[in-house]
Amino acid sequence: MNLKGYFGVKRLGDITWSHAVNSREKLDRTLADPKVMIVESDMRVSQSGEVVAVHPPETESDLAVGELIEKVAQSHKGLKLDFKDQGAVERVLRILGLLGQDRPVILNGDILQGNGAKDPGVEAGVFLRLCSEGYPVGLLSIGWTTMADPNLPYTQQNVEEMARLAEGVGEATFPARACLLPNSWPALTWLLGQGNHSLTVWNNEPVGPELIDWIKENTDPDKTMYDFIDERRESVRLW
């Protein structure tokens, strides 16, 4: 997927995000912001059985997936869908045809268990099969469940398991939690050397200046995307 060409940027690291767009208000605000290139939303099945944009532990939202995709389709922005429930995957993929084939769509799932973290919400083999059959032009973003503890990094076992799953994938991006990067770096560097893949660094908690400096010194913005938020959960541009 030619993300750089679509957005007219020189490096993956220059792509800008709006994180956790899980309400009508934030979606409208994001679509009106010319600086935002990719809209990121969380997908799960509500208590009424409707697929909505919401982040666990919440289950309800005023933004249904159909409205989200329809409004993004009227813009030039890309879309990243983070699947929290396996039940949402197939239903969302059916609707994605509204976006056409040329728009960047990133399909994210935590398909493996990380060190000390909970079980994945989606099963690896099922997620990969559904995405390849239902929306093969999407960019797979496949990662691990995590804890916000630098002492629980991604291990060599974690990345070797991921490398085996990614063997049949032409291109993927691996989402990695910012606070885990320094202690995980040898393992993640090995993983990135196994194919035509990139890294997406994200955070769900404040990132201090020391870690920001480390990320700038060690990651390659030609092969890394940065989806950062501040304490108000608003997007932060790293570069």
CATH of the domain at 177: 3.20.20.190
At position 208, the amino acid (one-letter code) is G
pLDDT in tens, the chain (239 residues): 799 999 999 999 999 999 999 999 999 999 999 999 999 999 999 999 999 999 999 999 999 999 999 999 999 999 999 999 999 999 999 999 877 778 999 999 999 999 999 999 999 999 999 999 999 999 999 999 999 999 999 999 999 999 999 998 889 999 999 999 999 999 999 999 999 899 999 999 989 999 999 999 999 999 999 999 888 888 888 88
Q: Residue 237: name the closest of 8, 43, 11, 5 by CA.
A: 11
Q: Which residue has the tokens 């993300």?
A: 3
Task: Give the residue numbers spanning the domain of 38.
Answer: 3-236
pTM here? 0.96
CA distances from 77 to 27, 165, 181, 209 (A): 12, 29, 28, 30
Number of domains in the chain: 1
Distance CA 211, CA 182 (A): 8
